[in-house]
């Protein structure tokens, strides 16, 4: 059983090269190949990350210290910006590396703290620093606001940054740096936590910057940040207003995403997708706690829900990419964002494929910590892909089945690493994507997040893990969810627009309340006060307080023809106080 199960998980390419070898020899050669690749690519990846960080990164010359380039690519696509999300995930990987092995990274980390403290003061299209501005997804590399059109706000940046810096602050406290943690690092974390508490129950754009709704990834990151932020505040003698009360409610809300045996990664939006998205696997590895058990509520990597979801998501790519053709269930495939993806015609991503590997290594680590593996009806299909005869039950470390499962799962993870190896160029450069038909690298070159994803996957493979974030005492959701108190500003929209019988006026814009620019979902205005001398259309809508949004009026005819008013988009910032009200007076243009 052991060798047959393990061999199912090793990509066929490796087995074909060893067709005349025994099963033991084939397995040994495949693993040796992976071991060498991981060693070599880890060096390439840490160098790749550092090359993209100012001020002395070889590909970030002239970029301010601590600023992370998403990629040095300036065209097709232009990623020569710094994203709050990408930078936070990159620095989370660097800070964990610093804590466990590499103390040479400290100056880089201190530079990041300073850079983020500055960016938190920059007013931008998402708002001022105290009115939604922390939800701005990206900035110019010279630390100025990016003012072009974009999917904003994105609410994952602040909690992700808070998590990265909380790991650093805790290390400082434990190593004689309490003053630095309190006076330099905590103020940055505190601002992010205030934003996170205030906006967690508001919709925003997902990590792929395409869907404005409720994102599983954002809310998972939010729960972790609030839990560890509250604990850090107590340790430093500070306050984290709302953290302790919001965290369990976020955890309760996360239950809403589980449906039909997997995580529907984006809800409260009509996106036309089935919801199988690597967003959810990324959530699992981000909220991985090495001290946790296999908790479904926090989607721990070894939990039944996370394993069932891993199968659902990875299986969804088996038939959409030519390079996956013929690879059966239970063997690793190239993984993309979601099967309906059309960006660059929809392809596998290095970081997505690496995330699938990392979950497997993290799950094996957790089972080895707890000393047992429990298979239930939810996770059984996942395990049967690797071991067809396995049954529901609990298997302890002393059993041969336990050892077989651990070996098969880790080898399954190696299969995803092998997939990355197969489509990584000889110099180890990791782009954003690789072609679904040929495997050739695509889109942005030297993507920082791709390199960071390799580092964390390799560390989990070597059983190197970050510190606990407190999951064991924060993994029980309330019996019933209570929505966060709304902090809305009531806006009365008045527009003078002359119409003919059968025509109606609507308002569409950059907010869920305004239909996210979709004419079919736009908010209707009333003609109850309309006269020939004063063609007034009006509507009163509750919008999130302290929020910047863009909007336009549209005209719909009785036959359904939609006419937009002329450019540019209109723009408004709601008042900061909860329950405030204001009136906008516009004229159709």
The residue-averaged pLDDT of 477-502 equals: 88
Q: Looking at 399-521, list the stretches that DSSP marks H as alpha helix, in order from N- to C-terminal side.
A: 400-422, 448-461
244 pLDDT more than 70: yes
- Reduce the DSSP state of residue 466 to 3 states and report it: coil
Cβ(34)–Cβ(41) below 8 Å: no
Angstrom distance (rounded) from CA 354 to CA 95? 19
Binding-site positions for substrate: 150
Cβ(301)–Cβ(290) below 8 Å: no
Matching residue, tokens 């013929």? 326
Cβ(141)–Cβ(115) below 8 Å: no
- CATH code that applies to domain 488-587: 2.60.40.10
- In words, the CATH class of domain 29-473 is mainly alpha
The domain locations on the chain are 29-473, 488-587
User: Phi/psi zone of residue 214: left (φ > 0), alpha (ψ -120 to 50 degrees), beta?
Assistant: beta
Residue 31 confidence (pLDDT): 54
576 pLDDT more than 80: no
502 pLDDT more than 70: yes
Residue 544 confidence (pLDDT): 84
Cβ burial 207-235 (10 Å sphere, 16+ → b, else e): bbbebbbbbbbbbbbbbbbbbbbbbbbeb
| Beta-strand relationship, 258-259 and 262-263 | antiparallel
User: Phi/psi zone of residue 246: left (φ > 0), alpha (ψ -120 to 50 degrees), beta?
Assistant: alpha
7 pLDDT more than 50: no
The model's pTM: 0.88
Angstrom distance (rounded) from CA 279 to CA 264? 9
- pLDDT band at residue 511 using 50, 70 and 90 as cut-offs: confident
Q: How far is CA 567 from the centre of its chain?
A: 33
Cα atoms found within 13 Å of the Cα of residue 187, Cβ hemisphere only: 13
Q: Which residues are CB-contacts of 533 (< 8 A; sequence separation ≥ 6)?
A: none
Tokens of residue 10, six digits:
């090793």
Active-site residue, selected from the candidate residues 192, 206, 414, 459: 206
Q: Looking at 237-347, list the stretches that DSSP marks H as alpha helix, in order from N- to C-terminal side.
A: 243-254, 279-286, 304-315
The residue-averaged pLDDT of 14-22 equals: 42
Angstrom distance (rounded) from CA 487 to CA 542? 9
Residue 424 confidence (pLDDT): 96
pLDDT tens per residue across span 369-389: 999 999 999 999 999 999 999
Closest CA to 322 of 298, 292, 358, 347: 347
Active-site residue, selected from the candidate residues 56, 209, 340, 521: 209
Tokens of residue 470, six digits:
């407190």
Output the DSSP codes for 143-174: SPBP-S------TTHHHHHHHHHHHHHHHHHH
- Helix (H) / strand (E) element for 363: namely helix 350-370
Q: Which residue has the higher pLDDT, 572 or 28?
A: 572
- pLDDT band at residue 6 using 50, 70 and 90 as cut-offs: very low
Binding-site positions: 150
Cβ(151)–Cβ(210) below 8 Å: yes
Cβ(143)–Cβ(84) below 8 Å: no
Dihedral sign of CA atoms 575, 578, 581, 584 in order: positive
Q: How many CB atoms lie within 10 A of CB 327?
A: 18
- Reduce the DSSP state of residue 303 to 3 states and report it: coil
41 pLDDT more than 60: yes
Angstrom distance (rounded) from CA 161 to CA 206? 16
Share of the chain above pLDDT 90, in %: 84
pLDDT tens per residue across span 417-427: 999 999 999 99
Output the DSSP codes for 200-239: TTS-EE-TTS--EEEEHHHHHHHHHHHHHHHHHHHHHT--
Cβ(91)–Cβ(109) below 8 Å: yes
Q: Which residue has the higher pLDDT, 482 or 414?
A: 414
Residue 557 confidence (pLDDT): 95
21 pLDDT more than 60: no
Q: Is 209 one of the catalytic residues?
A: yes
Q: Poorest-confidence range of 22-36, 75-89, 560-574?
A: 22-36
Closest CA to 363 of 441, 316, 322, 416: 416
Dihedral sign of CA atoms 291, 295, 297, 303 in order: positive
213 pLDDT more than 80: yes
The residue-averaged pLDDT of 84-96 equals: 98
Cβ(127)–Cβ(546) below 8 Å: yes
The residue-averaged pLDDT of 316-334 equals: 95
pLDDT tens per residue across span 258-305: 999 999 999 988 888 999 999 999 999 999 999 999 999 999 999 999
Closest CA to 341 of 457, 206, 517, 152: 206
Residue 583 confidence (pLDDT): 95
Closest CA to 323 of 167, 433, 238, 459: 433
Residue 32 confidence (pLDDT): 63
Dihedral sign of CA atoms 389, 376, 310, 303 in order: negative
């Amino acid at each position: 059983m052991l060798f047959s199960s393990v061999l199912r998980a090793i990509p066929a390419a490796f087995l074909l090269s060893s067709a005349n070898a025994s099963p033991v020899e084939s397995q040994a050669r495949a693993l040796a190949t992976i071991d060498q690749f991981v060693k070599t690519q880890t060096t390439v990846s840490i160098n790749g990350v550092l090359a993209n960080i100012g001020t002395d990164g070889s590909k970030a010359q002239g970029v301010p210290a601590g600023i992370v380039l998403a990629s040095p690519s300036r065209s097709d696509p232009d990623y020569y910006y710094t994203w709050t999300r990408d930078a936070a995930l990159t620095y989370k990987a660097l800070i964990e590396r610093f804590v466990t092995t590499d103390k040479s990274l400290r100056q880089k980390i201190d530079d990041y703290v300073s850079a983020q403290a500055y960016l938190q003061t920059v007013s931008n299209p998402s708002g001022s620093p105290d009115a939604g501005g922390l939800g701005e997804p990206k900035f110019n590399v010279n630390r100025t606001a990016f003012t072009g059109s974009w999917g904003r706000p994105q609410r994952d940046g602040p909690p992700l940054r808070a998590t990265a810096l909380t790991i650093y602050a805790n290390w400082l406290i434990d190593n004689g740096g309490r003053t630095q943690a309190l006076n330099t690092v905590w103020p940055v974390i505190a601002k992010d936590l205030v934003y996170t508490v205030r906006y967690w129950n508001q919709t925003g754009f997902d990590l792929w910057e395409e869907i404005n709704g409720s994102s599983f990834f954002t809310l998972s990151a939010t729960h972790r940040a609030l839990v560890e932020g509250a604990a850090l505040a107590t340790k430093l003698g500070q306050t984290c207003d709302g953290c302790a009360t919001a965290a369990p409610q976020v955890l309760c809300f996360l239950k809403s995403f589980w449906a039909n045996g997997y995580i529907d990664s984006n809800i409260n939006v009509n996106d036309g997708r089935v919801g199988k998205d690597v967003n959810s696997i990324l959530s699992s590895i981000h909220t991985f706690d090495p001290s946790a058990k296999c908790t479904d509520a926090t989607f721990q990597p070894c939990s039944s829900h996370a394993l069932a979801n891993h199968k659902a998501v990875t299986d969804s790519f088996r038939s959409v990419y030519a390079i996956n053709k013929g690879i059966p269930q239970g063997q690793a495939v190239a993984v993309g964002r979601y099967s309906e993806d059309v960006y660059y015609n929809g392809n596998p991503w290095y970081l997505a494929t690496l995330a699938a590997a990392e979950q497997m290594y993290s799950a094996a680590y957790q089972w080895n910590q707890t000393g047992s593996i429990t298979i239930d009806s939810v996770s059984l299909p996942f395990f049967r892909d690797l071991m067809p005869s396995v049954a529901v039950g609990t298997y302890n470390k002393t059993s041969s089945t336990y050892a077989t499962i651990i070996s098969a799962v880790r080898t399954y993870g190696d299969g995803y690493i092998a997939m990355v190896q197969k489509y990584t160029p000889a110099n180890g450069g990791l782009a954003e994507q690789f072609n679904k038909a040929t495997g050739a690298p695509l889109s942005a070159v030297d993507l920082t997040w791709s390199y960071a994803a390799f580092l964390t996957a390799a560390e989990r493979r070597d059983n190197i893990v970050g510190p606990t974030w407190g999951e064991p005492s924060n993994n029980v959701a309330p019996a019933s969810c209570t929505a966060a108190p709304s902090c809305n500003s009531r806006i009365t929209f008045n527009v003078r627009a002359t119409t003919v019988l059968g025509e109606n006026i609507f308002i569409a814009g950059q907010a869920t309340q305004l239909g996210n620019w979709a004419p079919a979902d736009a908010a209707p205005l009333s003609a109850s006060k309309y006269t020939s001398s004063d063609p007034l259309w009006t509507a009163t809508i509750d919008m999130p307080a302290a929020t910047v949004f863009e909007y336009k009026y549209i005209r719909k005819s009785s036959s359904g023809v939609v006419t937009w008013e002329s450019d540019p988009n209109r723009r408004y910032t709601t008042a900061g106080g909860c329950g405030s009200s204001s009136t906008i007076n516009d004229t159709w243009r």
